[in-house]
């Protein structure tokens, strides 16, 4: 019997280090910024997942995925977990955070709309090759926590998304606590924390520039359709 040789684990660069961060699971929050009128009730956001294999370095060209005519950008703060745990209290949660990154929650929006319309899950929309380009991880030691700072994204030099981390409905600490209510977090897990308004479609050849102040900058070009 010969067992299959699985691909190597996904890793991300670490700012200021030659070591790489081992990526575990990738949890993604739904709505975490106000899009228009503030919600009257702070309802718990949904979360979904992307496979670790979807995480790539946000460099160079990103592939235009198959099976979509509406390929969309979402710039998001990414939380990297250092210490795992379940039912983590919000006031303890930041001690579980190892670092932060800027990431793109790339989305096949047409497939997401179709899934939403009939109550199906979102994997086809959210989990595909290259669906989560990310900057290097910025470690809390010595760089500190990401509690405020501009978050923005432009396409071909035209700004489409802009907010500030302090506008998140759920703070990084609250996000860690919330996910840990549903599943035991492990070292290496990543949490994408939701995107500001302004998400829109990308075309082959588009240049995406994006950043989170103090965390990282992204410059990638959208590749041709397969």
Closest CA to 68 of 14, 136, 125, 123: 125
User: Could you list the residues that contact Mn ion (CB under 5 A)?
Assistant: 74, 105, 195
To the nearest whole angstrom, how small is the minimum distance from the Cβ of residue 82 to Mn ion? 23
Q: Determine the length of the chain.
A: 226
The distance of closest approach from Cβ of residue 195 to Mn ion in the complex, given in angstroms and rounded to an integer, is: 5
Quick one: 161 or 195, whose CB is closer to Mn ion? Answer: 195
CB of 121 to Mn ion, least distance (A): 15
Give me the long-range contacts of 119-123 (CB less than 8 A, separation at least 24).
121/48, 122/48, 123/48
Backbone angles phi, psi at 97, to 5 degrees: -90, 125
| DSSP code, position 72 | E
Quick one: 14 or 179, whose CB is closer to Mn ion?
Answer: 179
In the bound state with Mn ion, the residue whose beta carbon lies nearer, of 14 and 127, is 127
Phi, psi of 94 (to 5 degrees): -65, -25
Q: Which is nearer to Mn ion, 15 or 31 (CB)?
A: 31
- Torsion over CA: 14, 20, 23, 24 (sign): negative
Phi then psi for residue 119, to 5 deg, are: 70, 25
Residue 141 Cβ, how far from Mn ion at the closest point, in Å? 28
Residue nearest to Mn ion (CB): 105
Least gap, CB of 89 to Mn ion (angstroms): 26
In the complex with Mn ion, which residue's Cβ is closer, 20 or 162?
162
CA–CA–CA angle 207, 217, 204 (5° rounding): 15
């Amino acid at each position: 019997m010969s067992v299959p040789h699985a691909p190597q684990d996904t890793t991300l660069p670490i700012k200021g280090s030659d070591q790489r961060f081992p990526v575990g699971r990738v949890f993604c929050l739904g709505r975490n910024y106000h899009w228009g009128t503030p919600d009257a009730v702070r309802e718990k956001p949904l979360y979904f997942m992307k496979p670790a294999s979807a995480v790539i370095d946000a460099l160079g060209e990103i592939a235009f995925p198959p099976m979509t005519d509406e390929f969309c950008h979402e710039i998001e703060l990414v939380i990297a977990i250092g210490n795992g745990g379940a039912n983590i209290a919000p006031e303890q949660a930041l001690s579980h955070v190892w670092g932060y990154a800027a990431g793109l929650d790339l989305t096949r929006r047409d497939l997401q709309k179709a899934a939403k319309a009939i109550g199906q899950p979102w994997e086809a929309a959210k989990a595909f090759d290259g669906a989560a380009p990310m900057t290097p991880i910025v470690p809390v030691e010595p760089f500190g926590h990401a509690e405020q700072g501009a978050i923005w994204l432009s396409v071909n030099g035209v700004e489409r998304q802009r907010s500030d981390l302090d506008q998140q409905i759920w703070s990084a600490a609250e996000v860690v606590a919330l996910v840990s209510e549903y599943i035991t977090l492990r070292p290496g897990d990543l949490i994408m924390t939701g995107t500001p308004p302004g998400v829109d479609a990308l075309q082959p050849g588009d240049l995406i520039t994006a950043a989170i102040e103090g965390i990282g900058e992204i410059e990638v070009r959208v590749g041709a359709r397969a």
